[in-house]
Amino acid sequence: MEWRGEALILSTRPLGESSKIVELLSAERGRTVGLVRGARSKTMRALVQPGNIVTATWRARLDDQLGTLALEMAEARAGLVMQSAWGAFGLGSMASLLAFLPERDPHPRLYAAANALISAFALAPAAGEAGVRFEIILLEEFGFGLDLTRCAATGTREDLAYVSPRTGRAVCRAAGEPYRDRLFPLPAFLASDAPVDAEAVAAGFRMTGHFIAAHVAALVDKAVPEPRERFVRAVVKAIAREETGAGAIHSRDPAVE
């Protein structure tokens, strides 16, 4: 059995003195794991880094075996991942959430969203927005798509302000105001071209975290992974620092404390 294609390195772990087990994400094969021989050598070390885009060739005698991987660099992006706390935590969050997926199922939309998230790591607001959008697509891949395009109560597409924690559907301000304490605020950047701020990003992650816990992690009787929480804290704090210009965070949201 053999497969070849573009892939993103999600994570690695050492095996023996010179090899590594490498976890990849690709559009055609989804999450794939394989053995890279010699991955810990000086010549291979820079290549086999999480965040890099590679051309991967996976081979195994049988399809259900671990298989071996041969990798060629397509785009070096590990440096972009490691240049900020939210980048390093963001990749860890992504890998931990993708671990809920079965291996070798194609997920082209998730692959595109994962690449968009890594590209957004250069700026904290962009990383926050891309992180929320990545989690929305993750939910869709698990069969629980949010409907944020029209009000569940009135059908209007105007002034959408809330999201039902039960159905994942948007609610307009007029219909949702009496129940606002029981609804999630809809981040403005998901409904319009509004600027991305710390409060909106924290609200977005609070919303997606609720649905990931209920419709993804609960399917395998697990909690939402801790790496995700570290990413949320890091990126929201960074956005808040940019807003205040002084590094102080004035928010009661537990995601930023």
**Look-up of token digits 């419709």:** 215
**What's residue 254's pLDDT?**
40
**What's residue 257's pLDDT?**
39
Q: Quote the CA–CA distance of 234 and 88 in Å, as a whole number.
A: 10
**What's residue 64's pLDDT?**
78
The tally of CA atoms less than 13 A away on the side-chain side of residue 229 is 9
Query: In this predicted model, what pLDDT tens digit does every residue of 67-83 receive, in sequence order?
Result: 999 999 999 999 999 99
Where are the extended beta strands (E) located within the chain? 2-15, 19-26, 30-36, 53-59, 68-75, 160-163, 170-172, 184-185
Length of the chain counted residue by residue: 257
**What's residue 243's pLDDT?**
94
**What's residue 133's pLDDT?**
98
**What's residue 75's pLDDT?**
97
Which parts of the chain sit beneath pLDDT 50? 247-257
**What's residue 62's pLDDT?**
83
- DSSP for 163-196, written as a single string: E-TTT-BEEEHHHHGGGGGGSEEPPHHHHSSPPP
**What's residue 10's pLDDT?**
97
**What's residue 65's pLDDT?**
84
Ordered domains of the chain (ranges, CATH): 2-76 (2.40.50.140), 81-148+186-256 (no CATH)
Among 179, 232, 180, which Cα is nearest to 209's?
232
pTM of structure:
0.91
